[in-house]
């Protein structure tokens, strides 16, 4: 058994062999914004989930026009193969990939294992910031089929369709409002969306080298909790970054046709007046 | 009220920097992050944990013969931002008396305008590290 869409994943060896491939752009996207400056894969550019990808004022992502400008400045062409990698088991790499897909970039991949595996294999890291000639980039209309908003999350919950809560067990139970060891802020209520099953995101990756688990393991993990390919699935976490990794796993590694990431996640739901909560 | 002089100087410096300069300076601090002295290696149980940080952070305050406190940090290299922020605090407060450390307000860093360089959530870690440096300072007040 293999992943359903293995073309969305490359290994470190593939990246090492394509460092000078003009049709490939490698993007580092980390939780810690300084890691890129400390050392990155030769030729890689940086996209920061916070300062690059967020709207400067509203709680939303950057606009389509701004996204075009970011890509143009990074020298990314519309037909480029964009490979994402990052720290923390590729959390933020998956988040960036999801957003690139949201604005219609087709050819995207995750480097399996991310920064951790690359470092463990003693592959080169450089400080020199890569610069490329500007491109003319045109993004597509935002693809709402991969992004869930609060009203449809409520409909999903009422219809008892699958919702996957990928936060830690204590966040799911409502004991904590944020991850253990993270600041406990952001929501005034704890718990989970009624009907959501708890499948913490980290269960999809191998701790030792940050690679994704095998297709068999992944299938057993999600199907075992009744999250199956034939339904519409919505994944959420606290701000939508951990759930974008789960979205990637369900959408591409397991090939579920209809998966959305609810980026409003618990920091919206746990503050939303009148929203139903289960503990 | 003014902060301890070295910390005040750092806050003023950051306040006058552009976003890029802030990032560069933070990187420089992360890169000059001092390694843990041998006598504290593997001694996390002795150190103060900082659960507010997004990263495993441990710190230890050591009172010097002159009464000033010297802080040591154990933070993984995969977290340069936290290393950088801890380095700023260590540079600003090393050598201060415990009583002086306790006067630093939790929001001392607001004038540095760091939120334009690092996310708001991360700055909570900054207050977290300071709070635990204060815990260490309290333990050291009466220690000779």
A189 burial class (0-12, 13-18, 19+ CB within 10 angstroms)? Answer: middle
Confidence of residue B116 (pLDDT cuts 50, 70, 90): confident
Q: What is the pLDDT of residues A22-51, one digit of tens each?
A: 999 999 999 998 999 999 999 999 999 888
B39 found inside a domain: no
d(CA A46, CA A33): 9
Active site (catalytic) residues of A: 237
Cβ distance of B82 and A32 shorter than 8 Å: yes
Chain A residues near residue B27 by CB distance under 8 angstroms: 34, 37-38
B38 found inside a domain: no
B82 contacts chain A (CB < 8 A): yes
Cβ distance of B81 and A37 shorter than 8 Å: no
Residue contacts between A and B (CB atoms, under 8 Å): 50
A32 contacts chain B (CB < 8 A): yes
The alpha-carbon gap from B100 to the nearest alpha carbon of chain A, in Å, equals 26
Q: Tell me, rounded to whole angstroms, the distance of Cα A122 from its chain centroid.
A: 25
The alpha-carbon gap from B79 to the nearest alpha carbon of chain A, in Å, equals 6
A31 contacts chain B (CB < 8 A): yes
CB-nearest partner of B81 from A32, A180, A185: A32
Cβ distance of B54 and A182 shorter than 8 Å: yes
B139 contacts chain A (CB < 8 A): no
pLDDT, residue B119, reads 76
pLDDT, residue A178, reads 65
Cβ distance of A182 and B121 shorter than 8 Å: yes
Compute the average pLDDT of residues B108-127.
83
pLDDT, residue B106, reads 87
Look at the block and give the residue holding tokens 């002159």: B66
Domains in chain A with CATH codes:
6-142 (3.40.250.10), 145-269 (3.40.250.10)
Lowest mean pLDDT among A69-73, A179-183, B131-135: A179-183
Q: What is the pLDDT of residues A136-182, one digit of tens each?
A: 999 999 999 999 999 999 999 999 999 999 998 989 999 877 665 55
B130 found inside a domain: yes
CB-nearest partner of A183 from B77, B117, B121: B121
* CB interface of B with A, residues 10-69, below 8 Å: 23, 26-27, 30-31, 51-56
Supply the mean pLDDT for chain B: 91
Q: What is the pLDDT of residues B16-25, one digit of tens each?
A: 999 999 999 9
Chain B residues near residue A32 by CB distance under 8 angstroms: 55, 78-82
How large is the C-alpha radius of gyration of chain B?
14
Confidence of residue B124 (pLDDT cuts 50, 70, 90): confident
Phi, psi values for residue A111, rounded to 5°: -80, 110
B42 found inside a domain: no
B43 found inside a domain: no
Compute the average pLDDT of residues A189-196.
96
Cβ distance of A34 and B26 shorter than 8 Å: yes
Cβ distance of A38 and B27 shorter than 8 Å: yes
CB A198 within 8 A of CB A226: no
B41 found inside a domain: no
Give the H or E element holding residue B31: helix B19-31
Closest residue in B to A35 (Cα–Cα): B80
CB A35 within 8 A of CB A85: no
B74 found inside a domain: yes
Q: Tell me, rounded to whole angstroms, the distance of Cα A43 from its chain centroid.
A: 22
Split into its structural domains, chain B has a count of 1
Supply the mean pLDDT for chain A: 95
The alpha-carbon gap from A259 to the nearest alpha carbon of chain B, in Å, equals 28
ipTM of this predicted complex?
Answer: 0.82
CB A212 within 8 A of CB A249: yes
Give the H or E element holding residue A115: helix A114-120
B40 found inside a domain: no
The alpha-carbon gap from B66 to the nearest alpha carbon of chain A, in Å, equals 35
pLDDT, residue B143, reads 75
CATH number of the domain at B133, please: 3.90.1010.10
A208 burial class (0-12, 13-18, 19+ CB within 10 angstroms)? Answer: exposed
Q: What is the pLDDT of residues B80-105, one digit of tens each?
A: 999 999 999 999 999 999 999 999 99
pLDDT, residue A179, reads 61
pLDDT, residue B50, reads 83
Query: What order of strands is seen across the sheet that includes strand A81-85?
Result: A9-10, A108-111, A81-85, A24-28, A45-46
User: What residues have CB less than 8 Å from B6, skipping those under 6 apart?
Assistant: B91, B92, B93, B94, B95
CB A19 within 8 A of CB A43: yes
Look up the domain containing B88 and give its range.
5-33+48-140
Confidence of residue B58 (pLDDT cuts 50, 70, 90): very high
Compute the average pLDDT of residues A82-106.
97
To test the contact with chain B by mutation, choose from A59, A183, A209 the residue with the greatest count of B C-beta atoms within 10 A, namely: A183
Confidence of residue B4 (pLDDT cuts 50, 70, 90): very high
Chain B residues near residue A240 by CB distance under 8 angstroms: none
d(CA A137, CA A69): 7
| Beta-bridge mates of residue B58 | B49, B74
User: What residues have CB less than 8 Å from A37, skipping those under 6 apart?
Assistant: A127, B23, B27, B80
A4 contacts chain B (CB < 8 A): no
Closest Cα partner for A8 from A263, A262, A247? A247
To test the contact with chain A by mutation, choose from B75, B81, B82 the residue with the greatest count of A C-beta atoms within 10 A, namely: B81
Compute the average pLDDT of residues A195-209.
96
Q: What is the pLDDT of residues A223-253, one digit of tens each?
A: 999 999 998 999 999 999 999 999 999 999 9
**H-state helical runs in B32-116:** 80-93, 98-101
Cα angle value B25/A114/A212 (rounded, 5°): 150
């Amino acid at each position: 058994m293999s992943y359903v869409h293995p073309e969305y994943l490359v290994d470190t060896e593939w990246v090492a062999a394509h460092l000078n491939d003009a049709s490939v752009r490698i993007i580092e996207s980390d939780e810690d914004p300084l890691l890129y400056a400390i050392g990155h894969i030769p030729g890689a550019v940086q996209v920061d989930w916070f300062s690059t990808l967020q709207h400067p004022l509203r709680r939303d992502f950057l606009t389509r026009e701004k996204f075009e400008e970011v890509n143009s400045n990074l020298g990314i062409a519309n037909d480029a193969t964009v490979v994402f990698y990052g720290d923390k088991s590729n959390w933020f790499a998956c988040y960036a990939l999801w957003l690139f897909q949201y604005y219609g970039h087709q050819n995207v991949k995750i480097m399996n294992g991310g920064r951790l595996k690359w470092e463990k294999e003693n592959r080169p890291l450089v400080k020199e910031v890569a610069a490329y000639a500007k491109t003319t980039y045109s993004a597509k209309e935002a693809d709402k089929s991969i992004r869930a908003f609060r009203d449809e999350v409520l409909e999903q919950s009422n219809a008892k369709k699958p919702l996957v809560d990928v936060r830690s067990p204590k966040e799911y139970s409502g004991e904590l409002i944020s991850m253990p060891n993270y600041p406990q802020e952001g929501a005034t209520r704890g718990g989970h969306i009624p009907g959501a099953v708890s499948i913490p995101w980290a269960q999809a990756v191998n701790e030792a080298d940050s690679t994704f688990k095998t297709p068999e393991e992944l299938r057993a993990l999600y199907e075992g909790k009744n999250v199956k390919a034939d339904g519409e699935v919505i994944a959420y976490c606290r701000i939508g970054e951990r759930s974008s990794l789960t979205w990637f796993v369900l959408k591409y590694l397991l090939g579920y046709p209809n998966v959305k990431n609810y980026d409003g996640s618990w920091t919206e739901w746990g503050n939303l007046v009148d929203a139903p909560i289960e503990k | 009220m003014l902060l301890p002089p070295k910390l005040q100087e750092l806050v003023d410096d950051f306040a006058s920097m552009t976003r890029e300069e802030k990032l560069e300076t933070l990187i420089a601090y992360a890169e000059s992050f001092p390694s843990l002295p041998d006598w504290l290696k593997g001694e996390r149980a002795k150190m103060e944990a900082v659960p507010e940080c997004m990263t495993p952070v441990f710190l230890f305050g050591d009172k010097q013969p002159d009464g000033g406190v010297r802080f040591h940090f154990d933070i993984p290299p995969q977290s340069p931002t936290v290393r950088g922020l801890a380095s700023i605090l260590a540079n600003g407060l090393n050598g201060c008396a415990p009583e002086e450390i306790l006067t630093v307000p939790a929001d001392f860093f607001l004038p540095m305008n760091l939120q334009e360089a690092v996310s708001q959530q991360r700055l909570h870690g900054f207050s977290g590290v300071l709070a635990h440096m204060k815990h260490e300072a309290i333990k050291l007040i009466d220690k000779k």
